[in-house]
């Protein structure tokens, strides 16, 4: 407890929970009612150094542990995660604000990464070929990279950390996790359960904080690899800093995901998909659709039923109101930022087709709420189209051809998701071929790949070479060694 009577989050270093000691703290909110539910210690180099030392000391034994034994711990972890599935989902809702249905979905996606990681004995296999020259055989093996760090954003408190550490650990690496200071509670529980599953001390470590911890992780001489997920400016900074310090880096950034709607798209289906994509998790998703390009009469077909459906949507406190379709955004500060974007859209001349400001939540008026918002007649020159808003705001651009839609999408500078709604296979094929984004949806509003596929952001949405999840995840957390043998 600190002076405000609030629990300050503990660190997990070398198998023990410890207090951060005398460091500044920041509040963790329940966004549904604006209350402070915990405090995050803003640690620095000292705490990072302790965690890295523990991870380095644990590395020789852990990397020498047979892969089946490492995987067996993850099998036990899956079991514990299932037992705690509902409690974990509620924790995600409590500190992030997304609905319980969304929280459950995100915890499920995270568990699927652990299940995938349990396949390590197969996924870590190398290649071999005998007699590549007279009397010479050749083979490859995959060995762990070493001490890895994971730095994560606020919007998926369980899923995004789970993109990283299960694969890193099963490959024989040790790990230091730094979750977002806005949502540290889920990460604490995830680490507790991992320890309960039997992971040896020092293999997984947890530190809390912000910029100072991130910079300490990116520059620490004893860290070998850094995985980052967050906004693009920070993703770029982490990539540049950590690579300059000799580390292997995968760094996923922000997004501005375009959804092109052709006139032949089924309106009812498209409206449902748009609602899920734009307003799911209150728009706080790197895969959220945030720009709709309506081709020819698609706007007339889709916008009126979309607005009608949004008028029926219940915005409310997701921690206590099961009927809430959409929750708050994460903090008051973030809400103010999203309001700033709405003001800028108005100033730039876009028309506010549905205004979510002033949404009333009488049960918990102190929560951080914004109702579903739509701008029509937006243009690529406007800030609301150029920048990531990360809230429940859709900007609609009207155009007269698929080509122009693709062109608009490709100039965004980002490259996470791009979506096309159509009934025309040829248009879908053209779109998939020409769009400059790593994850493409054809009549799928949120084309987020499952654990066994890589999460393939492009352009300003990703810095590095090997993405998270899938076989690329295994490639990132291992180094290949080629051996040529002659026993003449």
Q: Across the beta sheet with 225-229, what order do the strands follow? A: 16-18, 11-13, 204-206, 174-178, 147-151, 225-229, 248-252, 462-464
Residue choice 150, 161, 202, 254 for contact with ligand NAD (CB under 6 A): 254
Regarding 409 and contact with ligand NAD (CB under 6 A), the answer is no
Kindly give the residue spans of alpha helices, DSSP state H, lying in 39-180: 45-64, 67-83, 85-96, 100-117, 120-123, 159-170
CB-CB contact of 464 with 250 (8 Å): yes
Which tokens belong to 198? 């039997």
Q: Would you call 462 helix, strand, or coil by DSSP? A: strand
Question: Does 44 help bind ligand NAD (rule: CB under 6 A)?
Answer: no
Residue 179 vs 202, nearer CB to ligand NAD: 179
C-beta pairs of 70-75 under 8 Å, 24+ apart in sequence: 70/120, 70/169, 70/170, 70/172, 71/117, 71/118, 71/119, 71/120, 71/121, 71/170, 73/197, 73/198, 73/199, 74/114, 74/117, 74/118, 74/120, 74/166, 74/169, 74/170, 74/197, 75/118
Indicate the residue among 77 and 455 with the shorter CB distance to ligand NAD: 455
CB of 464 to ligand NAD, least distance (A): 11
Quote the least distance from Cβ 199 to ligand NAD, whole Å: 22
Residues 234, 260, 261, 338: which binds ligand NAD (CB under 6 A)?
234
Contact between 188 and ligand NAD (CB under 6 A)?
Answer: no
Interaction mask 278-307, ligand NAD, x per CB under 6 A? --------x---------------------
Q: CA 332, 274, 390 angle in degrees (round to 5)? A: 25
* Catalytic pick among 118, 171, 218, 286: 286
Closest to ligand NAD by CB, 156 vs 375, is 156
Q: Is 151 in the site for ligand NAD (CB under 6 A)?
A: yes
Active-site annotation holds for 286: yes
Q: Which of 170, 203, 252, 303 binds ligand NAD (CB under 6 A)?
A: 252
461 is a contact residue toward ligand NAD (CB under 6 A): yes
Options 90-98, 109-117, 147-155, 295-303: segment touching ligand NAD (CB under 6 A): 147-155
DSSP state, residue 275: I
Handedness of CA 287, 289, 295, 300 (dihedral sign): positive
Closer residue to ligand NAD (CB): 153 or 267: 153
- Interface positions with ligand NAD (CB under 6 A): 151-156, 160, 178, 180-181, 210-211, 214, 229-231, 234, 237, 252-255, 286, 388, 390, 416, 455, 457, 461
Show which residues are catalytic.
Answer: 286
């Amino acid at each position: 407890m600190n002076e405000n009577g609030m629990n300050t989050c503990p660190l997990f270093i070398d198998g023990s929970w410890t207090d951060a000691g005398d460091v500044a703290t920041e509040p963790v909110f329940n966004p549904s009612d604006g209350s402070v539910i915990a405090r995050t210690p803003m640690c620095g180099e000292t705490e990072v150094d302790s965690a890295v030392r523990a991870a380095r000391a644990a590395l020789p034994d852990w990397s020498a542990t047979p892969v089946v034994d490492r995987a067996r711990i993850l099998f036990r972890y899956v079991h514990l995660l299932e037992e705690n599935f509902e409690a974990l989902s509620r924790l995600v809702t409590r500190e992030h604000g997304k609905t319980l249905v969304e929280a459950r979905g995100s915890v499920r996606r995270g568990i699927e990464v652990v299940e995938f990681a349990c396949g390590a004995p197969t996924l870590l296999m190398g290649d071999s070929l005998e007699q590549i020259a007279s009397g010479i055989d050749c083979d490859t093996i995959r060995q762990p990279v070493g001490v890895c760090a994971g730095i994560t954003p606020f919007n998926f408190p369980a899923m995004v950390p789970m993109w990283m550490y299960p694969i890193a650990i099963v490959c024989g690496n040790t790990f230091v996790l730094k979750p977002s200071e806005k949502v540290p509670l889920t990460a604490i529980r995830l680490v507790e359960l991992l320890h309960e599953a039997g992971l040896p001390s020092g293999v997984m470590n947890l530190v809390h904080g912000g910029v100072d911890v991130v910079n300490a992780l990116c520059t620490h001489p004893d860290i070998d690899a850094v995985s980052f997920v967050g906004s693009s400016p920070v993703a770029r900074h982490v990539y540049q800093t950590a690579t300059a310090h000799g580390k292997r880096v995968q760094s996923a950034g922000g997004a501005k995901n375009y959804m092109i709607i052709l006139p032949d798209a089924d309106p009812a289906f498209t409206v449902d998909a748009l609602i899920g994509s734009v307003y799911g998790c209150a728009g706080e998703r790197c895969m959220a659709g945030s720009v709709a390009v309506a081709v020819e009469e698609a706007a007339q077909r889709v916008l009126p039923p979309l607005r009608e459906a949004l008028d029926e949507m219940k915005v409310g406190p997701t921690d206590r109101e099961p009927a809430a379709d959409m929750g708050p955004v994460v903090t008051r500060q973030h809400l103010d930022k999203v309001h700033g974007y709405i003001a800028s859209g108005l100033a730039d001349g876009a028309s506010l087709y549905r205004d979510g400001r002033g949404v009333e939540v009488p049960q918990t008026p102190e929560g951080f709420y914004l109702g579903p918002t739509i701008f029509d007649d937006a243009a690529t020159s406007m800030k609301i189209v150029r920048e990531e808003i990360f809230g429940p705001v859709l900007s609609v651009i009207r155009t007269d051809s698929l080509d122009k839609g693709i062109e608009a999408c490709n100039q965004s500078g980002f490259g996470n998701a791009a979506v096309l709604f159509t009934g025309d296979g040829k248009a879908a094929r053209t779109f998939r071929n020409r769009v400059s984004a790593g994850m493409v949806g054809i009549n799928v509003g949120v084309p987020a790949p499952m654990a066994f596929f890589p999460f393939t952001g492009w352009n300003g949405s990703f810095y590095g070479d090997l993405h998270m999840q899938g076989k690329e995840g295994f490639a990132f957390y291992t180094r290949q060694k080629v051996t040529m043998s002659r026993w003449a």
